[in-house]
Amino acid sequence: MKKIAFGLSAVALSIAASTGHAGEVEVLHWWTSGGEAAAINVLKEEMVDAGHTWKDFAVAGGGGESAMTVLKSRAIAGNPPSAAQIKGPTIQEWGDLGFLTNLDDVAKASQWDQVLPRVVSDTMKYDGHYVAAPVNVHRVNWMWANPEVFRKSGASIPTSWEQFIVEAKKIKAAGFTPLAHGGQAWQDATLFEAIALSKGSKFYRDAFIDLTEDTLRSKDMVNVFDTFKQMREFVDPGFSGRDWNIATSMVINGDAAIQIMGDWAKGEFTAAGKKAGIDYVCFPAPGTSDAFTFNIDSLAMFQVDGKEKQAAQKDLARLILEPKFQETFNLNKGSIPTRLNMPRDKFDTCAHSAMDSFLASSATGNLVPSMAHGMAVNSMVQGAIFDVVTNFFNDESMTSEEAVDKLARAIKASM
Ligand code: GAL
């Protein structure tokens, strides 16, 4: 009965769109790589099919730092876009500033409270009201590998960071780059948090959610920095400043063995026509098989003037949670649907493994928010961690003990 009612309202909305209520949505995002662009195009096409106009506001730059800078200047000028890719605690920051619009009517009609896992729906709300629509769930603690490079190097897939170092040496000796990496602060932080997670979810939570000083200054944290610095030995000389998708292409082309990156990397393999389990393999980052670092992408909706624009914005929010969009978008993006109980048959083995791990880790308490991707702490604390992590990676003379001290101080100062 509910399904029929919902179907009718969807038809009514699209008729409304094609009979004069068509409006424009301007959408800010940073999805410009091959896989990312294929994914966002799905949404663009659905909006155009519903009779609306899509104004693309893409600001290139993985991790979204540049996009957020541009968004701030547009908002300060009093001219924010209809929707922007804003995630996690940052949604609260924009809510506090009074920029976001209430989506409760769309959410109620489409039963978001019922179809979304709690960890997702909570993040989409400000002050108890929906203000953002989630497009996906990314797993961040992944290791992408080229099996041919491993075979030629006589190396095995590592399951701990100690073993990673042993295998990476073999790969290097065979003439390949062991670790495809781009030296940008958010990519450094992605690698760093994967190493930290291998100390256990409790350690990770204490350090990056509760920001406990004892944990930040602990021996384990010194050890995390030690391992992180050792990775310098395994990147190629051109790593500095490289975009993440160029690093992925090094694994795709067989120049490099491994990339530690969230599953948007899978979007690049897919866009290049590569098949999971054949051309490339996916494993949890070493020592993190029980855990799942989540990164939920969402479009937060800004207050806009004009009935047409508002109607288009609500249509955008509604379409995002529809099963068809959730499937097609996530097949291209490399992530898993945010909606519960979706059919799994079109997804590959890496996505199945992410789906299983998402459920298992939520039951065991090993589902943790990604610090590197803005899910764990606000943007001030995140920026403070990024600075220490990236400076340490690039400064050969800084010791791990110094880094730990700087980390604890920087976090305190930013709180
Ligand atoms: C993440 C974002 C992903 C992916 C990645 C690289 O922060 O959540 O969707 O696009 O950046 O750009």
Residue 92 lies in a domain: yes
202: which residues sit within 8 A by CB, 6+ positions away?
none
Relative to the CA of 31, which ligand 1 atom is closest? 10
> What is the pTM for the complete model shown?
0.94
| Cα of 354 from ligand 1 centre, angstroms | 17
Residues 43 and 174 in one domain: no
Residues 166 and 248 in one domain: yes
Residues 284 and 331 in one domain: no
Residues 277 and 151 in one domain: yes
Relative to the CA of 372, which ligand 1 atom is closest? 7
Q: Whose CA is nearest to atom 4 of ligand 1?
A: 264
The number of angstroms, rounded, from the C-alpha of 146 to the middle of its chain's C-alpha atoms is: 22
Residues 80 and 149 in one domain: no
Residues 179 and 289 in one domain: yes
* DSSP letter for each residue of 248-302: HHHHHTTSEEEEE--THHHHHHHHTT--BTTTBEEEESTT-TT-EEEE--EEEEB
Residue 360 lies in a domain: no
Residue 357 lies in a domain: no
Residues 81 and 215 in one domain: no
Residues 210 and 320 in one domain: no
- 352: helix, coil or strand? helix
Residues 34 and 121 in one domain: yes
> What are the structure tokens assigned to 204, written together?
């990770």
pLDDT tens digits, one per residue of 48-103: 999 999 999 999 999 999 999 999 999 999 999 999 999 999 999 999 999 999 99
Closest alpha carbon to 408 in 217, 246, 271, 267: 217
Residue 3 lies in a domain: no
> What are the structure tokens assigned to 25, written together?
């949505």
Residue 359 lies in a domain: no
Relative to the CA of 297, which ligand 1 atom is closest? 8
Residues 193 and 290 in one domain: yes
Cα separation values, 131 from 79, 100, 110, 250, 340, Å: 18, 6, 14, 39, 20
The per-residue pLDDT for 19 is 39
State residue 336 phi and psi, 5-degree precision.
-115, 155
| Cα of 150 from ligand 1 centre, angstroms | 27
231: which residues sit within 8 A by CB, 6+ positions away?
179, 181, 191, 393
* Most informative mutation of 295, 296, 298 for ligand 1 (most atoms within 8 A of CB): 295
> What are the structure tokens assigned to 408, written together?
């604890």
Q: Whose CA is nearest to atom 7 of ligand 1?
A: 63
Contact call for residues 59 and 70 (beta carbons, < 8 A): yes
| Cα of 57 from ligand 1 centre, angstroms | 16
Residue with tokens 């909006």: 47
Show the domain range for 193: 139-294+372-414
The per-residue pLDDT for 342 is 96
Number of structural domains (the chain) is 2
Q: Whose CA is nearest to atom 10 of ligand 1?
A: 31
pLDDT tens digits, one per residue of 3-47: 344 444 444 444 444 434 789 999 999 999 999 999 999 999 999
* Most informative mutation of 27, 29, 31, 261 for ligand 1 (most atoms within 8 A of CB): 31
The per-residue pLDDT for 283 is 98
Residues 196 and 304 in one domain: no
Relative to the CA of 335, which ligand 1 atom is closest? 9
* Most informative mutation of 264, 270, 320, 370 for ligand 1 (most atoms within 8 A of CB): 264
The per-residue pLDDT for 21 is 73
CATH code for position 300:
3.40.190.10
The per-residue pLDDT for 249 is 98
Q: What is the CA radius of gyration of the chain?
A: 21
Closest alpha carbon to 296 in 343, 337, 259, 332: 337
Residue 325 lies in a domain: yes
Q: How far is 390 from 385, CA to CA, in rounded Å?
A: 9
Which of the residues in the chain have pLDDT under 50? 1-20
The per-residue pLDDT for 149 is 98
Residues 242 and 310 in one domain: no
